[in-house]
Chain A
Amino acid sequence: MTQKFEFTVNGKPVGVDLDNEETPLLNVLRNNLGLMGTRFGCGLEQCGCCTVLIDGRPEKCCAKPVWSVAGKSVVTIEGIGTPERPHPLQQAFIDEQAGQCGYCLSGIVVSAKALLDNNPAPTRAEIAQALDDNICRCGSHNRILRAVEKAAAQLRGGQQ
């Protein structure tokens, strides 16, 4: 039986009609809403490629049933910033050339956003810990850590 699921994505209300209420949010974002920035990595909530903000908290959405986000606010990488108006994190990732294949970066930027929203001045160890649920296989870790530090400083008003 088709049901309508309503929530907001990047500030805009959306409604999707689905037969299977267990459809993972990731599939809804990618296949129903055309938002490809949230990546599929494992489908097992292990790698962090699919991390989005749900009511402000970083959550993996590859196995999160769509019914569980009804009425909630979802923010994806597309809602963090754009090339025209990059979020300081995205600008810092570009400045630090923080990435190799880049497949993990959507989830990492979202996880980092959640960290900085709650902790504007994290230590390097706190950043690393916050990103431990995100796997980077290419080995861009140190650049990513530097980029998050840089963005944090930027967001605090340019103090280093």
Chain B
Amino acid sequence: MNAPVLPGPLKDNPSLARWVAFPAPGQVAINTGRVEIGQGVLTAMVQIAADELDVAMTRIAIRSGSTAVTPNEGYTAGSQSIQFGGVAMRQACADVRALFLAQAAKVLACPVNELSIRDGSILRKGASTGQDYWTLAGAVDLNVDAGGSGARKPIAELESIGTSSARLDLPAKIFGDAIFIHDMRLPGMQHARVVRQPNRGATIGSVDERAILRVAKAPVAFVRQGNFLAILGDDETAVDLAAVAADSHVKWQNVETPTAIQQEANWLLQRPAVDRVFGAEPADAKGRERFERTYSRGYLAHASISPSCGLAHYDNGHLTVWTHCQGVFPLRAALVKTLGLEASAITVHHVQGSGCYGHNGSDDAAADAAIVAMQLPGKPIRVRWRREEEFIYEPKTPAMIVKVHALLDEAGKPTDWTQEIWSPTHNQRPGAGGNLLGALALPHPPPEPPPNDVPESNGGGATRNAEPLYDIAAKRHIHHLVTETPVRTSALRGLGAMPNVFALECCIDELAERAGVYPVAYRLAITADQRARAVIEKVAAMANWQAGEPGGAGRGRGIAFARYKNRAAYAACVVELDVDEEIRLRHVWCATDAGLVINPDGVINQLEGGIIQSASWVLKEQVRFDNSVALGHASFDWETYPVLKFSEVPEIDIELINTKDEVPLGVGEVTAGPTAAAIGNAVSHALGTRIRDLPLTRERIMASLLKE
């Protein structure tokens, strides 16, 4: 018999002691490398452990994201925490349970199959034995590698998994507890702000310290290393005032300012790029009708509700860092490169921050604190970015151009599909090579990383969901990885999936209209995948979708579908909206198949969040540049980068199907593409004319109406 295949994270961190411990009678400790970024993952992990260990959730304490204690699971990203991290936790707990049952059988001199566990107590033929995890713990060594042979419970026997447990972290947030990293205060701590280097290569010309001190109204100190300059002190108000004053009193040289023309996706078309082609050879186009459409989206900000924050303390040769980033181990690796310390001399702990939707400023803020702390041994340093700093310096998600070239058969169905993409990279995470903002300002900055994007094996970056799931004889995509960009770009929720699904699902609607077939029927006619058909049919039923609803009178409905990364969860959305000069969303229906669901309400919460955030991107969001404003960044606060408000949010109905499948799939990113495309299709239905460029601003709506 072959050895069982271990889930990836368990293979990478095989020691069971890294996952589970029984620290005191009645208590269970579990460790996960995944971190809470607002998605409820820790609650789901506790549910998983409760089921596979057979203990009550209340006995379980969970630790997450610490280089000192938890497994190294890389980044909490890509909707993979449950699909991989959760499955690893499940198997680790199943293995632990099996070890304890074997030990109990030895102690009780009985066959294992007579034993079971109820809330941590060992039962023999259903009767108490006086043994439990804690009486046996001394004799069971968990410092052994997982074998993967512990039997996971059959789906039908799961009790905790599949129930809507209340989020464990929410009460503290509703009562205002000091649980965010921003709330951490260490004895002797100094508040610090960084005077940001405007761009790689910019140098400090002059610093008028006296002018800054006058504004601060209380003592502040300066720490400088090369072009890295920080201001710090005991009084946060004084440090803030000084940081604002530094905008005027620190002069920079070699400043590069982005311009308005660079904010548009079209600017990417003539830039230097690395070109790659994926997929089938083009079919013979002879006698086939050719159909081409081009879609685009601008740069987006993560716009986390709180600016990034990081703390660091360098003491006795050891650096401790607290961060709300997505990967404590990759951050540690980047800090090793930046600071010249050994990995063993750095500990990085995750502490919760505000909602994180990808690579924001959190790693950089942690590095800022670390750089300052290294200059001031013994003093804990807290860096909190300013709001404007977060908007200007967080990595943006790239603008993208997506051009679809299709060949059609006599019935107007696609037989050959090419999706051609122009996009900067979706990955400049710090682990990829010491790419931290603070490091770029130090005397020996790291070299520019070579052009790269998320590999296809990880779902691709700009190419994510570039290939339709539909039954089309030949499919390929061409990726122009644009290497010259006005701003740093990196990962945001779904990476390229949103623009790609927007393009291909809008194009499918255009093809359906051209063929004279209604959108649902057209999709079903080119979809054999049963799970795809199921979500499309389900959402159509939920929305009471009627073939041939009249459009063009200001109210419209649109549908769209995607399977995230073409290998994760399925989602279909129907959007109903009104358009006059602006768009008012009325209702969104969504059907999702994410396989085994750990926490149904948690999944629905994530899907709702994905829908609302995507709606905000589509209706309102684009990072704007203007070289007449300071540093060229015209989006620097919530007025210059507005997001969807309470009064603008639609009603949302969500249904989950196939929830008892064996494999769980992540959901944080699955609705972004279908929501965007369904809005695009609904606007076209409402107006009778199509807008192919995002965001769908008032200006674009008016221009489109005038064109008619």
Contacts and interface: CB of A to CB of B under 8 A. Distances in A.
B166 A31 contact: no
Given A42-B638, A100-B605, A103-B180, A109 B304 contact: no
The secondary-structure label for the interface of chain B is loop
A125 B649 CA distance: 11
B237 A41 contact: no
A100 B355 contact: yes
Contacts of B217: 19-20
Contact size range, B: 35 or more
Given A36-B177, A102-B174, A135 B40 contact: no
Contacts of A37: 175-178
Interface string A30-49: 11000111111111101101
Given A103-B306, A128-B646, A136-B305, A27 B236 contact: yes
A2 to B, nearest CB: 11
Given A101-B355, A128-B649, A138 B174 contact: no
B605 A97 contact: yes
A23 B241 CA distance: 10
A152 interface: no
Contacts of B238: 20
Nearest to A126: B647
A94 B646 contact: no
A141 B355 contact: no
Contacts of A42: 307, 387, 637-638
Contact of B174 (A47, A49, A105): A105
B306 A44 contact: no
Interface stretch (B148-156, B545-553, B609-617): B609-617
Interface in A72-99: 76-78, 81-83, 86, 90, 93-94, 97, 99
Interface in B363-402: 384, 386-387
B651 interface: yes
A47 B166 contact: no
B38 interface: yes
B609 A36 contact: no
A41 B387 contact: yes
Contact of A101 (B38, B608, B638): B38
B646 A19 contact: no
Contacts of B387: 41-44, 46
A100 B40 contact: yes
Contacts of B512: none
A149 to B, nearest CB: 13
Contact of B613 (A38, A86, A139): A139
Interface in B165-214: 166-167, 169-178, 180, 182-183
B37 interface: yes
A100 B39 contact: yes
B166 A39 contact: no
B305 A104 contact: yes
Contact of A41 (B171, B176, B306, B606): B306
A138 B647 contact: no
Contacts of B534: none
B410 interface: no
19 contacts: A20-B237, A40-B307, A40-B384, A41-B305, A41-B387, A46-B639, A47-B638, A86-B175, A94-B174, A101-B354, A102-B38, A102-B173, A103-B354, A128-B649, A129-B646, A138-B613, A139-B613, A142-B608, A142-B651
Interface of B: 37-40, 164, 166-167, 169-178, 180, 182-183, 217-218, 235-238, 240, 303-307, 352-357, 384, 386-387, 601-602, 605-606, 608-613, 637-639, 643-647, 649, 651-652
